[in-house]
């Protein structure tokens, strides 16, 4: 019987750990092959469900969530806890969040 066919095993499976390990593995693999673009700077793209990365960033970098979103609650899945207030732009992120000496990652 496969995992999908066994509801008890399926519900007890450590999906968070599996998802985390797969995500980190894919990021390591993809980021290894970065190449310079026309302006001679190294860039990369993250494809997939990027909203998940955005919500994850709100969770682990409180200043980011404070500037760009409202926390609505403490639900599972965590994506239900956030409502965006502003569209993050790179220049703003670099100065107001990542340029701050007060930024904390949990």
* Tokens describing residue 18: 């599996």
The pLDDT, as a whole number, for residue 46 is 66
The pLDDT, as a whole number, for residue 72 is 94
Instruction: Give the mean pLDDT per block of 10 residues along the chain (106 residues).
Output: 77 77 76 61 64 85 88 89 84 81 75
Which of 45, 69, 42, 47 has the alpha carbon at shortest distance from 57? 69
Chain segment 72-100, per-residue pLDDT in tens = 999 888 889 999 887 878 888 888 887 87
């Amino acid at each position: 019987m496969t995992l999908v066919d066994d509801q008890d095993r399926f519900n007890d499976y450590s999906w968070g750990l599996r998802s985390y390990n797969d995500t980190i593995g894919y990021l390591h693999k993809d980021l290894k092959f970065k190449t310079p673009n026309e302006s001679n700077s190294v860039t990369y793209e993250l494809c997939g469900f990027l909203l998940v990365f955005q919500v994850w960033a709100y969770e682990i970098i409180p200043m980011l969530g404070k500037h760009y979103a409202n926390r609505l609650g403490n639900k599972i899945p965590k994506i239900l806890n956030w409502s965006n207030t502003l569209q993050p732009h790179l220049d703003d992120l670099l100065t107001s969040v990542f340029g701050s000496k007060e930024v904390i990652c949990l």
